[in-house]
Amino acid sequence: MMEYDALYVQLMNSILGKMQRGEYQVGDRLDSERVMSQQYGISRLTIRKALKKLEEQGYVMARRGSGTFVVKVPTSSRRIDQGAQANMSLGVLIRQSGYESCRKVISIEKVPVWGILAEKFSGSSQMFELVRLSYVNREPYAVQKAYIPAEIFWDVERYDLSEGSLYEYMDTHGHMPKRVESYMQIVEIPEEYAGLMNLQSGKKVFLVVYLGYDSGGELMEYTYSYYLPQYTSFKYVIEKNTRVNV
């Protein structure tokens, strides 16, 4: 009995692992009992028990005559650490955390300098606004809206920012951020991004504002990043002032 239980638990863990890695997504049909029996070398009775337990836990649903389908993906305990390495590509951070990473450019356009941009980029008349959606295991994870000076980064539209890093592109012009300030708060996801993130309006997310300065101390990037909380952790270093005024 102990051996039988161990086999079905191992199969459950294998299927859950595939869900977490993105091999199985919500709506996907699992392999048939016959295929899994051949693949894992175990009996259909063991497979049936594993699938029944997964269904009881709410991860899959059996449909008569159609098969067993994924209805929920387990949340991973691994977190993508934001804050400690703010000048590192988000895609690199995602992969370092053990997830599959990809990115999609939503829009890129030239916009006038106004509001806080006019305050931060007083020497610029136009900015490029770049909006990208980053994925974790093919599920939406973060929306980033970045502003960079159009006078310096005049050819950004020619660069494939769905594959390449924004900072790598900025480095080709000699202005890659070397120092990054970041400010974090919890906000409701903006209405315009709720659909992209598969979230309902009013859902809370992490907002981090990044200010990237080049080696000469000039501001080159102003970015709003909205992160899903379930994948994200933050690590900040606080320098304590030991001087005491009496």
pLDDT tens for 114-156 read: 999 999 999 899 999 999 998 887 788 889 999 999 999 999 9
pLDDT tens for 20-60 read: 766 787 889 999 999 999 988 889 999 999 999 999 999 99
Mean pLDDT, to the nearest integer, of 99-126? 91
State whether residue 242 is helix, strand or coil. Answer: coil
CA–chain centroid gap for 208, Å, is: 13
Q: Are residues 228 and 112 in the same domain?
A: yes
Mean pLDDT, to the nearest integer, of 156-185? 92
Mean pLDDT, to the nearest integer, of 108-114? 96
| φ/ψ (deg, to 5) at 82 | -100, 150
Mean pLDDT, to the nearest integer, of 195-212? 90
Which of 19, 50, 70 delimits the end of a domain?
Answer: 70
Domain containing residue 190: CATH number: 3.40.1410.10
Output the pTM of the full model: 0.62
CA–chain centroid gap for 242, Å, is: 38
Q: Given pLDDT bands bounded at 50, 70 and 90, which one contains residue 218?
A: very high
Q: Are residues 96 and 134 in the same domain?
A: yes
Structure-block tokens of residue 117 = 């941009």
Structural domain that includes position 43: 2-70
Structure-block tokens of residue 162 = 């769905």
- pLDDT number for residue 54: 94
Which of 70, 93, 120 delimits the end of a domain?
Answer: 70
E strand residue ranges, the chain: 60-63, 67-70, 80-82, 101-112, 126-136, 139-149, 179-188, 204-213, 219-227, 232-234
One-letter amino acid of 106: I
